[in-house]
Amino acid sequence: MKILSTKEIREWDQYTIQYEPVSSIDLMERAAIKCSQWIMEQYPDNVSFSIYCGKGNNGGDGLAIAKMLIENNYTVTVHILEFGHLGTEDFQTNLILLQHLPQADIHFIQTKQNLHPIPDGQIIIDAIFGSGLNREASGITADLIDHINKAKFEVISIDIPSGLFADKSSQDCKNIKATHTLSFQCYKMAFLFAENAASIGNVHILDIGLHKDFYQSLICKNELVDFTFIRSIYKPRNRFSHKGNFGHALMIAGSYGKIGAAVLAALACLRSGAGLLTCHIPKCGYDILQTTIPEAMVITDFNSSFITAIEEDVKKYSSIGIGPGLGTASETKKMMKELLSSIDQPVILDADALNCIAGEPELFTVIPDGSILTPHPKELERLFGKSVNDFERLNLVSEKAIEKNCIIILKGHYTIIATPEGKVYFNATGNAGMATAGSGDVLTGILTGLVAQGYDSIHASILGVYLHGLAGDMAANKNSEEAMIAGDIINNIGSAFICFKN
C-alpha cells in the first residue's frame, strides 16, 4: 500500500472529482457514509455522541456524519468551533442540511466560556481539523483540544486526530488523543511513528472509492508492505531442487557469554531455508553449537572467547551474516576490516558488527555495496548521530542508505527498510512481544538464509522483516506477547512460510 502525502491525497481527491466524475460534496458524503457505517457497527445502540467540528472540509465530514447518525435515531450534539469565517462551501452545504433536521442540537464555540462539561457516557467524534493542518493549534482551538482530552471519554477522530500533522513531526504540539482514527484510502505517515502512538489509537482505513487510475500511476517513495507484495517476491521451491540450490550461508557470531545469540541466528538461518550453514564461532561455543544445532557445520576461531580471524575462503559462501553476540574486542574489529576488505558480495551486519563499525568509522568504507544493516534506534544513533524526532530519523535512514549504497533496516514497530534507490518500505507485521532479547539475532539469521537462497538484498530485507514479524504474531497468539521469547519466533517461521503458499 502506497503512503501518500497530504498534497498527493488532495490531488487524488481532485482527480476523482474530475475523472469519475463526482462533485466534492458527494465525495464528502461518500466518506461520511463509510464513517457512519463503521460507527454504527461499533456502537449499535444506547449511545449518544458529541461531535466537534471545525469549519473546513473535515468539519463538513463531521456535520454529514451527525446528520446520518441522527437519521438513524442516535442522540447527537454538534459543537462548531468559530474561526471568524463562514467555512468551506461543502461545510456550509452540510450545515444547512443538518439544520433542517428538527432533532439537530447545534452549539457554537467562540470562547473558552463556551466549553461546557461533556456529559457522562458520551462518545466524542473529532472533526476539527483534517490532514491539511499546517500550523500548531493555539488559542481557543488548543483550549478545545485540552477540554476533550481531559474528559477521558472514547474519541473517534475523522481523517487524523486534530492537531497532528500528517507529514511532519507533531512532537510537543497539542493534539486530540483518539481511541480510534477513521482515515481514508491509505495510511498517512503520521500513523507509522511511535511518537504519535498515544494520539492515533486504533487506525481504521476506509475505502471511499477514490479513482484507482491515480493511485496506480503514482510513483511513491514510501510504501506499507502488504501480503500481496510479499506473495509477489516469495519464491516457491522447485520439487527437483537439492540443498545446493539454496545456498551455503556463513554465520560469524558469538563470544564468551553470548553464544546463545549465535545459536538463535543459526537456527533462524536454517529455518528460513538455507541449504547449508557454517558457523564461525570462538572455541568456547563449539560443544553448544554442535549439540543444539546438529544441522549446522562449525568452525572455531583460534581464540576461545571471541573471534579474531577468518582463515577460510569466504568467497565460497552464498551469504555472510555477521554480528550476533560478536563482541567488540579490538581483534574482532580488525577481523571485520580484513574480511570486509576481501569481499565484494553483500553481507548482513547486525548487533556488535554495527557497534564495531560505530567505533571504527573507517569500516564504513569497506562495507560491500548492497549490504544489509539492521540497527535498532540506539545502534542507529551510534552509527549516524541523534535525531530529534521520528520524522528526522526516517530522513536520516533514507539519506544514509543512499549515501552508503546499502539497505538499512531500522527495527521497531513498522520496521523501516530504506534502499539505496531512495525507496522506503514500512513493515506491517510484528508486535510488542518481539521486544525481547534475541529477536534481532533471529532476524539476522532469516536475512542470511534468504540471501543464501538467491534473494537480492532488497527483496530479502522486505520478505525477511515481514516473515520475522508474521512468525512473531503467530507466537504471540500462542504464547501471549508477555511470555514470548526469541525462540518462539523461530518455532513459528515454518507456519509463516505456509501462509505464503495458501
Beta-sheet pairing, 416-418 with 407-410: antiparallel
Are 340 and 366 in contact, with CB atoms under 8 Å apart?
A: yes
- Distance CA(416)–CA(245), nearest Å, equals 30
Task: Name the residue ranges covered by the structural domains of the chain.
Answer: 6-220, 227-239+263-273+323-501
Looking at residue 163, its pLDDT comes to: 97
Cell triple for residue 29? 458524503
List pLDDT tens digits, range 1-51.
999 999 999 999 999 999 999 999 999 999 999 999 999 999 988 899 999
Q: DSSP letter string over 349-399? A: E-THHHHHHHH-GGGGGGSPTT-EE---HHHHHHHH---SSHHHHHHHHHH
Pick from 318, 297, 308: nearest CA to 338: 308
Looking at residue 374, its pLDDT comes to: 98
Q: What is the 3-state secondary structure (H, E, C) of 126-155?
A: EECCCCCCCCCCCHHHHHHHHHHHHHCCCE
What would the CATH number be for the domain defined by 6-220? 3.40.50.10260
Please give the class, per CATH, of domain 227-239+263-273+323-501: alpha beta
Cell triple for residue 502? 495458501
Q: Give the C-alpha distances (Å, rounded to integers) separating 130 from 126, 186, 346, 361.
A: 9, 14, 44, 44
Q: DSSP letter string over 410-423? A: E-STT-EEE-TTS-
Q: Name the DSSP class of 443.
A: H
* Residues of the chain scoring pLDDT < 50: none
Are 429 and 416 in contact, with CB atoms under 8 Å apart?
A: no
- Distance CA(53)–CA(109), nearest Å, equals 10
Looking at residue 46, its pLDDT comes to: 82
Which single residue is written with the C-alpha cell 461546557?
116
259-271 and 439-452 helices cross at what angle (nearest 10)?
40
Looking at residue 84, its pLDDT comes to: 67
